[in-house]
Amino acid sequence: MQYDWILFDADETLFHFDAFRGMQLMLERQGVVLTEADFQQYEQVNKPLWVAYQNGDITADELKHTRFKRWAEQLGIVPAELNRRYMQAMADICSLLPGAGALINALHGQVRMGIITNGFTDLQSARLERTGLASHFEHIIISEEVGVAKPDPRIFEHALTLMGNPDKQRVLMVGDNPHSDILGGLNSGIHTCWFNPRSEELPAAIQPHYQVSSLAELQALLLA
């Protein structure tokens, strides 16, 4: 094994993140039917908020409040409570991506592992427990708790400190987002692997050490 540590992103690297189905389930529980038009209107607000959050322009609480403000007013529920119900719905529909369970189980005992995610604490904890993977990861680094989000190098430095400051050349970051996972890892001096199942074009000036199209391919690469 070339690496002592492997750090994973969570959403769309290990776990499916079906935002539409999560919203749909959350609103069904409030007696509301979510339309595609409703969801697209939500995404027009939500997506720029995530960019602002990753850039450090807004806090996690501001993101949670703003993205659900319209729905909260419509339903007569405070945004924080609606966000909590959404996180519960997302946890209820959680599932691993193809090959994720096999990969983590194969790596367990061969290398030390952690997660660095820009997601929120309640959802990450619930999904790891429900999928039986929580004990496989020594550290779960969540941007909401650290106060900075990927690609900010400070969240990676925080992780490395928790890990005992290992040799950076023996640490690999795996993620599906080139701008947060890969650029953040590269700027922190660790090795990176872009998980690219949709064969997207690599952004200019971002050069991961590896690129894989499936988690089975990553497993073969790491355990060759």
pLDDT at 1: 77
What pLDDT tens digit does each residue of the chain (224 aa) get? 799 999 999 999 999 989 999 999 999 999 999 999 999 999 999 999 999 998 889 998 999 899 999 999 999 999 999 999 998 999 899 899 999 999 999 999 999 999 999 988 888 888 888 888 888 999 999 999 999 999 999 999 999 999 999 999 999 999 999 999 999 999 999 999 999 999 999 998 899 999 999 999 999 999 98
Boundaries of every domain in the chain:
5-15+95-222, 19-92
**Sheet arrangement for strand 171-175:** 139-142, 112-117, 5-8, 171-175, 191-195, 210-212
What Rg do the C-alpha atoms of the chain give, in angstroms? 18
Cβ 212 vs Cβ 218: under 8 Å = yes
Q: Is 205 exposed, middle or buried (0-12, 13-18, 19+ CB in 10 A)?
A: exposed
Domain 5-15+95-222 has CATH 3.10.129.10: no
pLDDT at 129: 83
Cβ 89 vs Cβ 57: under 8 Å = no
pLDDT at 142: 94
pLDDT at 128: 83
Tell me the C-alpha distance between 90 and 97, whole Å: 15
Query: Active-site residue among 9, 11, 152, 176?
Result: 9
Structure-block tokens of residue 147: 């106060």
Same fold, 5-15+95-222 and 19-92: no
Domain 19-92: assigned CATH number: 1.10.150.240
Say whether 9 is catalytic.
yes
